[in-house]
Amino acid sequence: MAVTPEKILSDLIRIDSSNPPGNETAVALYLKKLFNDAGMPGEIIEPEEGRGSFIVRFGKGPKKLLYIAHSDVVPVGDGWDFEPFSGEIKDGVVHGRGALDCKDLIAAEVSAALQLIEEKGPLGGELIVAATADEEIGGRLGAAYLAEKCPELIEADFAVNEGADQPIMINGQLAYFLQVGEKGTAWCTLKVHGTAGHGSIPTLADNAVVKMARAVSRLNNYRAEVIVVPEVEKLLKSLAKLCGIKVQALGPDQVDALLGDLPLEKAFVESLRSMTRMTVSPNQIRGGTKTNIVPDYCEADIDIRILPGQDCEYVEKELRLIISKDIEIEFNEYRAPTFSSSRENFYKLMEEITLDLAGEKAICLPVISAGSTDSKFLRGKGIPSYGIGHMARGFDQQARTTVHGRNERIDIESLQLKTAFLKELARRYLA
């Protein structure tokens, strides 16, 4: 009998793959043994020692479906009520770091694949399962490496990954989400020079930290233009309808008023807000060498997330409306937004299966993410990619706050729902 997803997840949690340093090869070896035992050997791609990704492929036919999830996790921190790497299964819940981000998805993908192998039903195409390293700090040694160095191993018609919000209950209707895109990044460093002087007579100097403080204050008050892409328009209008709010039009001028009226959790509403505009967040400032020396140099790191049609040129133009010309702007990380159409048959099939499993009083809606996942590398190679965050009806709503936080956990019923969804998707698409 195929190993249950909860047993796989428990085992995976007990493998500490906190990144840094990673240790994902230990996860890859565990998965390789599972598939070896099922008579379906996979392979480990290890660009650096200990930083391995696992890939297995089976089935024959022209169609190709990729299941992908990352095997690294963020560090745990203090204040947990249980051992973070225990993998304890208790009262229908699996406990530990990675239970929701995103070893649960690995467990569901692997369990679904092992069940299909055990049933020996013919697949009219190839199912690919990939557990990738290094996602939590950029993916250079994981999905990015696979996409650039060995793209043939992950080539597929479309992919399923993490990335969607967990479902929410609105007036008795359970809203599920499918992630269709991610905002891009245009991270930059602002640099400003001044004139050093003695701290006892600051008026003889030109304080670079003060200059930067003024710029950062202006950035904090910046209000970006509102842009509503079609998928987000559908999302907002559907949510308004579920909440009993009538929306005649949803142009840029109406978005914030609607967001203010939605009776939903603040965190979710702010996530919706981020889908409708560029965001600018000054997150680090460095300047000065000594308390009694007026600093002659200061720099600040700015986290900027952009929508389709926006790039570094657009960002610099916007920043120049806010900050003075004597402040330099240096872009140090740029990645364009990535999207997959919700009009594709792939999306429609995922939506259909989601609603079949969810039962009555459920809806499925597209979302885009303010953050990023490995899907950006797949879309960059022309592979449509969709994120899921499926949970069972009645799941613990408090658990959603444990992602990258304390006491991370998932209920077994939700884990089994993810597994059933992935198994059915492979069956129907690769029929």
pLDDT in tens, 95-131: 999 999 999 999 999 999 999 999 998 899 999 999 9
Q: Which residue(s) pair with 338 in the sheet?
A: 182
Q: Assess contact for 279 and 224: CB atoms under 8 A.
A: yes
Per residue in 223-275, pLDDT (tens digit) is: 999 999 999 999 999 999 999 999 988 999 999 999 999 999 999 999 999 99
Please report the domains of the chain, with CATH numbers, ordered by start residue: 5-168+367-429 (3.40.630.10), 182-335 (3.30.70.360)
DSSP H helices, 226-311, are 230-242, 252-261, 266-274
Out of 104, 109, 126, 135, pick the active-site residue: 135
State the Cα–Cα distance between residues 236 and 231, nearest whole angstrom. Answer: 9
CA distances (Å), origin 217, targets 192, 222, 254, 300: 15, 9, 27, 12
Of 166, 347, 187, 367, which Cα lies nearest the Cα of 273?
367
**CB burial of residue 120 (10 Å; 0-12, 13-18, 19+):** exposed
404 Rama sector, left if φ>0, alpha if ψ -120 to 50, beta otherwise: left
Sign of CA dihedral 346, 352, 356, 359: positive
- SS3 helix, strand, coil % of the chain, rounded to 5? 35, 25, 40
Residue 50 — left, alpha, or beta (φ > 0 → left; ψ -120 to 50 → alpha)?
left
135 counts as catalytic = yes
Give the number of other CB atoms < 10 A from CB of residue 119.
10
Q: How far is CA 99 from the centre of its chain?
A: 15
Identity (one letter) of the amino acid at 218?
R
Could you tell me the two tokens for 327? 């402040």
pLDDT in tens, 134-168: 999 999 999 999 999 999 999 999 999 999 999 99
Is residue 1 scored above 90 in pLDDT? Answer: no
Among 72, 101, 182, 351, which one carries the catalytic annotation? 72
Q: Please tell me the pTM assigned to this model.
A: 0.95
Tens-digit pLDDT profile for residues 303-328: 999 999 999 999 999 999 999 999 99
Q: Residue 148: how many CB atoms within 10 A of its CB?
A: 12
Lowest mean pLDDT among 58-67, 161-170, 182-191, 244-253: 244-253
Q: How high does pLDDT run on average in the chain?
A: 97
How far is 233 from 244, CA to CA, in rounded Å?
16
72 is catalytic: yes
pLDDT at position 2, please? 77
Quickly tell me which residue has 């990044």 as its tokens.
185
pLDDT of res. 185: 97
